[in-house]
Amino acid sequence: MIQSMTGYGKSVIQLPTKKISIEIKSLNSKNLDLNTRMPSMYREKELKIRKLIASKLVRGKIDFSLYMEVTGEETSTQINKTVVKQYMQQLKDVVDTGETTELLKMAIRLPDALTTERDEIDENEWNQIAKEIDNSLEKIQQYRLDEGESLEADFLTRAQNISGLLDDVIAMDPDRIDGVRERLTKGISDIKEKVDENRFEQELVYYIEKFDITEEKVRLTNHLDYFSKALKSNDSNGKKLGFISQEMGREINTIGSKSNHAPMQKLVVQMKDELEKIKEQLLNVL
C-alpha cells in the first residue's frame, strides 16, 4: 500500500491552566525536511519529538507546531518590586508630577521591571501532550494512506492504459514490418538495378532486424507487471516506483525511435503522455 507525502494532523488538549494545540503538516520532498515551532519551555523535548516524527513519517517536508494558550491564572511573569520602587523614586526627581499611578506606568515599562521565571515541565502534563502528538501522527498517517489509495487507483489506470496501447502496437507490428519490406523492395525496383536476390534478402533481413521491437515489447510488459506488483507491496517506496517508471520510459522511447511508422508513433506519444502523468504523481509518493 503506497502512501502520499501530503498530510495533515491536528490535536487539541485542554490542561488545567492552558490549552495545547498540535499541528503537523507534510508535503513532498526528496528527503526528510523537518521544521519545529514550540514554546521555549518545551525545547528540551525537541530532539525526542524529532526522532519520533522521523520514525513515523520517514520522508517529506514536515512542519510541526505546538501552540500554548494560557487559560488559567497561572503566570510565570512577576513584578520586580525593588527595581520598580527605585525607578519611581528616580522618576520623581526628574518628572514634575505627583501622580503615583503615572509614575508606576512609566516605571513598569523600564528594563528589568518584570521578571520571567523559566517554568519546569511537569512530567504528567508532558505525558498528556506526548499522547496528543502520537494522536496527531496517527491522523497524518491515515491522511497519507487515504491519499495513497487515490494515487494507487490512478497509477493502475494509467499503467493499464499503457498496456492497452502496447497491445495495439503489437497488433500493428506485422503490418509495419511488411510496409518496411515493401518500401525497400519498391525503392530497389525504382532505380532499375539488377541485384543479387539472395544478397538483397540478407540485407533486407538485417535492415528489418534494426527495426525489430520484440525485446522492447517484452521488457515493457515486464516493467508494467513489476510496477503493478510494487504498488501492492506492504511498503510504500516512491523511489523504487520512480526507477521502474524510468525503465518503462526507456523502452517506450526505443519503440518510438525504431517504429518508422506514423500510426505506431502516435501510439507511442499516447504512452509517453500516460507515463509522464505517472511520473508527476510519483513525486508525491513516500
Which residues are CB-neighbours of 189 under 8 A, at least 6 positions away? none
pLDDT value of position 247: 96
Task: Residue 148: name the closest of 270, 28, 34 by CA.
Answer: 28
Looking at residue 235, its pLDDT comes to: 84
Does the predicted TM-score (pTM) go above 0.85? no
Distance CA 38, CA 123 (A): 17
Q: Which pLDDT score, from 0 to 100, does residue 103 have?
A: 76
**Which is nearest to 12 in space by CA: 136, 111, 178?**
136
What pLDDT sits at residue 58? 93
Domain parsing of the chain, residue ranges: 7-74+123-145, 77-116, 149-282
> What is the rounded distance in angstroms from the CA atom of residue 15 to the CA atom of residue 18?
5
Q: Which residues pair with 10 in a beta bridge?
A: 23
Q: What is the predicted pLDDT for the residue at 196?
A: 62
pLDDT given at position 201 = 66
Q: Which three cell numbers stand for residue 5?
A: 507525502
In the prediction, which pLDDT does 39 show?
86
Under 8 Å between Cβ of 281 and 154: yes
Residue 1 CB: number of other CB atoms within 10 A?
12
Q: Which residues of the chain have pLDDT under 70?
A: 72-77, 96-98, 114-119, 184-208
Contacts of 96 (CB under 8 A, 6+ apart): none
8 Å CB contact between 73 and 150: no
**CA 119 to centroid of chain Cα atoms:** 38
Instruction: Report which residue type is found at 68.
Output: M
Q: Could you give the CA distance from residue 112 to residue 77 in angstroms, rounded to a whole number?
A: 11
DSSP string computed for the chain: ---BS-EEEEEEEE-SSEEEEEEEEEE--SSEEEEEE--GGGGGGHHHHHHHHHHHH-SEEEEEEEEEEE-SS---EEE-HHHHHHHHHHHHHHS----HHHHHHHHHTSTTSEEEPPPPPPHHHHHHHHHHHHHHHHHHHHHHHHHHHHHHHHHHHHHHHHHHHHHHHHHHHHHHHHHHHHHHHHHHHHTT----HHHHHHHHHHHHHHT--HHHHHHHHHHHHHHHHHHTSSS--HHHHHHHHHHHHHHHHHHHHHH--HHHHHHHHHHHHHHHHHHHHHTTB-
pLDDT at 16: 84
